[in-house]
Amino acid sequence: MSNHDFLENSKFKNKEQLIEELIELYAKQITNFSFTYVKDWGMAEDITQDVFIKVYDNLDTFRHEGSLKTWIYQIAANRSKDILRNSYFKTTIVSDLLESLMPKKGNTSPEDTVIQIAEDKTLAKNVLALPVKYREVIILYYYHEMSSTEISQFLQVNVGTVKSRLQRGRQRLKVTLTKESEYE
């Protein structure tokens, strides 16, 4: 059934029922999709809410040039990118990532601690500079300690794809970190 037929001939009696059905069909997928951009569940859930509010407000202007699903995903991508451009968000994510990388208090000397913090900041900066498809698997694997299988299920891609992205992400990090150490 085409989108136009879905909207025109659907069992829904009003716009609210249609939105409820769209939320039921796509909310989880949109949250997962948004998470791949923003790397924060709360923010991804907020984006999902924003997306369906926008869908509700603009349903009458939907032009039927593509599928309803792709239209919803495009709204989610645009909203996620808007959030990423927000400097407060960038600062928060970087500081959270750096905090997770900070060495734990122990028997290390102040000098070792300073060296470790500098190395961690460099690594975090380079991880965040990776393309999204590599960055997401690196963060999920190393910082959220998810297995390749869990990442595969989460991202809804093959385990082989996850392993390949991990390998390529590591290679890119190695090249970047090697170049940076040569310049020091």
The tens digit of pLDDT for each residue in 21-66 reads 999 999 999 998 888 788 788 889 999 999 999 999 998 888 777 6
Rounded average pLDDT over 97-126: 61
- Determine how many CB atoms are found less than 10 A away from the CB of residue 27: 16
Predicted local confidence at residue 167, as pLDDT: 94
CATH fold for domain 3-85: Rna Polymerase Sigma Factor; Chain: A (1.10.1740)
Note the pTM of the prediction, 2 decimals: 0.48
Asked if CATH classification 1.10.10.10 holds for the domain at 130-183, the reply, yes or no, is: yes
Cβ atoms of residues 116 and 89 within 8 Å: no
Rounded average pLDDT over 139-159: 78
List the domain boundaries for the chain. 3-85, 130-183
* Mean per-residue pLDDT over the chain, rounded: 77
Cβ atoms of residues 134 and 163 within 8 Å: no
Predicted local confidence at residue 56, as pLDDT: 92
